[in-house]
A and B are shown apart, each in its own frame.
Chain A
Amino acid sequence: KNEVEQSPQNLTAQEGEFITINCSYSVGISALHWLQQHPGGGIVSLFMLSSGKKKHGRLIATINIQEKHSSLHITASHPRDSAVYICAGGSQGNLIFGKGTKLSVKP
C-alpha cells in the first residue's frame, strides 16, 4: 500500500529561522509533490520532484530516491510562510497525501 508520512506535525519558528519539514514515502511512488495550504483552504503546488533538488525563492526541496525521503526547507522564514505544508506522492495516477505540517512563524 502506498503511504506518505510527514514530520513534524506542528512546527513553530521565529522569524528568520531555517525550517525543515520531512517526508518519507513508500515503494510505488515515483514523484513527490510539496504543496502549501493556507487557512482559507486553497492548495498551491510548490514543487514536484522525482530526483535531486529544486529551488524557488526561499524554498528548497530535496529528494533521496534510495532512502525514499524528501525534505522541504525554508530559509529566512517569515510570518507569511505560516501555512500547512503537505507532501504528496504520485505514480501513474492520483496523489497520496501526507497529513501535513502546520507551520507557524512568529514575528
Chain B
Amino acid sequence: EPEVTQTPSHQVTQMGQEVILRCVPISNHLYFYWYRQILGQKVEFLVSFYNNEISEKSEIFDDQFSVERPDGSNFTLKIRSTKLEDSAMYFCARKLEQGASYTFGSGTRLTVV
C-alpha cells in the first residue's frame, strides 16, 4: 500500500506564526486523522475527517486548528497562531474504510520558538 508522505518533515516557526502541515498524496481513502506526540509523551488524537467534514475532534483541537482537503488530494492541518506548547511531532493517518487498519504518515516535527 502506498506510503503517506508528510511535508515538511521538520518546521521551525516563531511563536504566533501560522503553520500548515501537509499530508500527501491521498488517493481513494475516506478516513483521515491528525495525531500529535509531544516529546516524551504518548500520541494524542486531534481530529478525524470523513467525507470532507470533521467527524470528531479532541479538546486539543481548538479554534487555532483547522483541517481541509483543498484539492481533494492533500490533507492539511493549519495552526493559526502557534504557541510554544504546540511543539510536537504531528502525524497524519488514513484508512480505506471503517474497520480497516491505519497507515501513518512519516510525521512532521514542529518546533515553535
Contact = CB atoms under 8 A, between A and B. Distances in A.
A42 B48 contact: no
A42 B106 contact: yes
A66 interface: no
Interface string A28-49: 0001010100000111110010
Interface stretch (A10-18, A57-65, A74-82, A89-97): A89-97
A94 B101 contact: no
Interface in A66-107: 86, 88, 92-100
Given A41-B107, A43-B104, A97 B42 contact: yes
Contacts of A86: 42-43
Contacts of B58: 94
B83 to A, nearest CB: 21
Q: What secondary structure prevails in chain A residues at the interface with B?
A: strand
A21 to B, nearest CB: 15
Contacts of A31: 99
A33 B101 CA distance: 8
B107 A94 contact: no
A45 B107 contact: no
Interface string B27-40: 00000010101000
Given A33-B101, A42-B104, A43-B107, A94 B45 contact: yes
Contacts of A92: 98
A35 B44 CA distance: 14
7 contacts: A41-B37, A41-B106, A43-B104, A45-B104, A88-B43, A95-B33, A95-B45
Interface of B: 33, 35, 37, 41-45, 48, 55-56, 58, 89, 91, 98-104, 106-107, 109
